[in-house]
């Protein structure tokens, strides 16, 4: 079993990077060879893993140049089987470049990296555009974190409509994941009940602590409900890819 897993959302602030980090960690903890590639200029993946000091400093955008080998920006993390390509602020203008003169660059880069890994997890920038379109063309599965709200459902519909129009017959499957679920809010538990086939991650202080501890959740709170939620998402991902 193998695949390219894109974690994408139209909106920021929905737990996208947290989900990407925990999925990559779960895959590596299961014995797989995993690459976590952060394509977001915020560079949250390296921060959440505590890997800023070891990440390559040559500029994340440089990987899209023909003069830079993709493997040269790969950094081993502290976790067996998990490597990282960190994001940074050099990615903030990448969208325009991808649209202008590099329409197939990401797919070629992933094809070159894929032989070395069982799974490649992409932490994607929010929105729709040239770069997300390249991601959609290359991914085997798109995981979509959604905060339980009508606006989030609307953005999911926008992504589905975009894939139907722009990637007809070639769109990867989508796996919606309800993120930051607060059981005290009626809208949240109603949406969970209405979508029992969507994995749900509860809102919990231990998830927020990932930022201060700079560790995957299973490293310090493996028995928490949130950790169990991320584990369930990973099982669903494997089921779809399998």
Asked if the model's pLDDT at residue 105 lies above 60, the reply is yes
pTM: 0.94
How sure is the predictor about 63, in pLDDT bands with cuts at 50, 70 and 90? Answer: confident
**Six token digits for residue 215:** 């560790």
Asked if the model's pLDDT at residue 135 lies above 80, the reply is yes
How sure is the predictor about 92, in pLDDT bands with cuts at 50, 70 and 90? Answer: confident
- Domain 3-241 listed as CATH 3.40.50.300: yes
Query: Coil, strand, or helix at residue 123?
Result: strand
CA distances from 75 to 52, 61, 120, 181 (A): 10, 15, 14, 33
The C-alpha torsion from 49 through 51 and 45 to 234, rounded to 10°, is -40
Long-range contacts of 196-201 (CB under 8 A, 24+ apart): 199/175, 199/229, 199/232, 199/233, 199/236, 200/229, 201/15, 201/19, 201/145, 201/177, 201/226, 201/229, 201/230, 201/233
How is the chain split into domains, by residue range?
Answer: 3-241
Q: How far apart are CA 61 and CA 65, in angstroms?
A: 8
Express each pLDDT in 187-198 by its tens digit. 999 999 999 999
Express each pLDDT in 221-234 by its tens digit. 999 999 999 999 99
Tell me the mean pLDDT in the region 56-60. 66
Express each pLDDT in 156-168 by its tens digit. 999 999 999 988 8
* 120 beta partners: 4, 35
Express each pLDDT in 170-218 by its tens digit. 889 999 999 999 989 999 999 999 999 999 999 999 999 999 999 999 9
Q: What is the pLDDT of residue 55?
A: 63
Tell me the mean pLDDT in the region 45-55. 84
């Amino acid at each position: 079993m193998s695949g390219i897993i894109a974690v994408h959302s139209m909106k920021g602030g929905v737990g996208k990077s947290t989900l990407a980090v925990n999925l990559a960690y779960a895959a590596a903890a299961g014995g797989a060879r995993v690459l976590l590639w952060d394509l977001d200029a915020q560079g949250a993946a390296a921060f959440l893993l505590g890997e800023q000091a070891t990440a390559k400093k040559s500029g994340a955008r440089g990987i899209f140049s023909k003069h830079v080998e993709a493997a040269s920006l790969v950094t081993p993390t502290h976790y067996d089987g998990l490597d990282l390509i960190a994001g940074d602020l050099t990615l903030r203008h990448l969208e325009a470049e991808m649209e202008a003169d590099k329409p197939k660059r990401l797919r070629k880069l992933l094809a070159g990296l894929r032989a070395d890994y069982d799974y490649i997890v992409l932490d994607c920038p929010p929105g729709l555009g040239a770069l997300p379109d390249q991601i959609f063309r290359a991914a085997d599965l798109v995981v979509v974190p959604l905060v339980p709200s009508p606006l989030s459902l609307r953005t999911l519909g926008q992504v589905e409509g975009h894939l139907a129009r722009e990637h007809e017959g070639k769109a990867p499957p989508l796996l919606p994941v309800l993120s930051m679920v607060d059981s005290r809010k009626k809208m949240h538990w109603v949406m969970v009940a209405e979508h029992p086939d969507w994995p749900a991650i509860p809102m919990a202080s231990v998830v927020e602590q990932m930022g201060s501890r700079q560790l995957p959740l299973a490293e310090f709170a493996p028995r928490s409900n949130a950790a169990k939620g991320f584990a369930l998402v990973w099982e669903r991902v494997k089921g779809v890819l399998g």
